[in-house]
């Protein structure tokens, strides 16, 4: 289940760590006068930055989508939400867990 309250701290943390690794990697490269990726000291922080920023960016993307969906749902009346729930596809009572156990 998706819980935004538990996802947001992870999203901020991963993006923060990614930005910190990016700053460290760029700082190491600029302090040495250029980027020489044969040495792992310059490449490792940039790879960590890419990893954390990709995961954090994915979380930010889906969080934005959830916020848009949530705000659209809050604008709907109770009758409209109930009608959408009644029209939503669901499993029939005959297709319940009893048939899947055999």
**Would you list the DSSP string of 14-74?**
HHHHHHHHHHHHHHHHHHTTS--TTSHHHHHHHHHHHHHHHHHHHHHHHHHHHHHHHHHHH
Domain assignment of residue 36, yes or no: yes
The pLDDT assigned to 98 comes to 53
**Confidence class for position 91, pLDDT limits 50, 70, 90:** low
Domain assignment of residue 33, yes or no: yes
Identify whether the C-beta of residue 7 lies closer than 8 Å to the C-beta of residue 65.
no
Q: Count up the domains in the chain and report the number.
A: 1
Domain assignment of residue 101, yes or no: no
**pLDDT per position as a tens digit, 31-79:** 888 887 776 777 889 999 999 999 999 999 999 999 999 999 999 999 9
Domain assignment of residue 85, yes or no: no
Domain assignment of residue 38, yes or no: yes
Domain assignment of residue 47, yes or no: yes
Q: Is the pLDDT of residue 3 over 90?
A: no
**pLDDT per position as a tens digit, 10-29:** 999 999 999 999 999 999 88
The pLDDT assigned to 13 comes to 96
The pLDDT assigned to 101 comes to 53
Q: Which domain holds residue 25?
A: 1-68
Domain assignment of residue 93, yes or no: no
Domain assignment of residue 86, yes or no: no
């Amino acid at each position: 289940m998706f819980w935004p309250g538990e996802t947001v701290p992870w999203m901020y943390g991963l993006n923060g760590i990614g930005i910190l690794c990016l700053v460290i990697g760029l700082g190491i490269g600029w302090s040495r006068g250029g980027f020489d990726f044969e040495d792992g000291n310059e490449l490792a922080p940039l790879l960590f930055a890419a990893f954390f920023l990709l995961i954090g960016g994915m979380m930010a993307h889906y969080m934005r989508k959830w916020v848009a969906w949530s705000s659209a749902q809050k604008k709907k009346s109770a009758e409209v939400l109930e009608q959408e729930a009644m029209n939503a596809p669901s499993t029939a009572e005959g297709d319940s867990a009893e048939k899947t156990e055999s």
